[in-house]
A and B are shown apart, each in its own frame.
Chain A
């Protein structure tokens, strides 16, 4: 099975609007899912500049799925869905 790929946007906008508090995912996800999921912080994913959408930051990408106004819970739920849990 292909690994699920998680990217936490750490661009300035996402960081200020909340991804500072999503950094815990980078430690939490490997502990929870082991080898099934790759997770990393990422430079700006460019999602905040589309159509003035800074207010929907922070963004996280789980494979191709974009999570707006991301929270730890939303991201974990998306990973679970990908893994068919």
Chain B
């Protein structure tokens, strides 16, 4: 089967900066694909390469089997939801949504009908006459989505689509995007720096760092079995354990990772385990995050709310199951 988007050794350099460096990538049709990474990691440049706003310095990009280098954005059946929505301020909502059809010379009645439908799809029916300036952030986001979807793109690109929304709205939109993608069957590629968002929405995640892909896999793969220290640390702030420490518990001299929720915190007197000292607590609502100092090694543990906590500065003993200690591929 042809990939929806395929990168072969794609690089994009800006002068001496390697924004994207020899990236190989295959996105399956109908997939919800996330590009996750810190800012400056090259994920947005990858998105812009697919959209056609950037051209690769080397390597080849194909979209549904067709070579895309040198093809301008307006000839790609790919649409983008921009980070700050990029709605046209001089057009009302309906004309914004109908814009793509207007430039393709679809008749006025027909394109307005399609735009109305797209607006109901994003649950904004009847908002057509308003100006973008009169909408809230969440509504603008939906208009931007409708404006892209009305063109029935082969691939929909979303650049930090939920970044500017508040928490509650963001959670709603996550669910909505996910169900919309399922219903439409369009390939979604979305860029985010929020690991929670990537894990909860995507079928597969690519973790970016320094213009390279560190790991591609399902959310569970990425979360449970990070292949490098970077992935372990960036995705869900795992405890990264140095080889010496790992050797004591697994016998192998490798870097390891340990999820904060798999650490149990016990009283100092309660026998074997890692001796540590509690140095701080963060109350997070459903859970509490504990900062621990194990002989100079800073560890974090997450315990359910309501657990009886030792006092700050008190000595504790940490225990965990051997199988939850994950050994990483990265060489020592």
- The reply to whether chain A is a binding partner of chain B is no
Interface residues of A (CB under 8 A from B): none
Interface residues of B (CB under 8 A from A): none
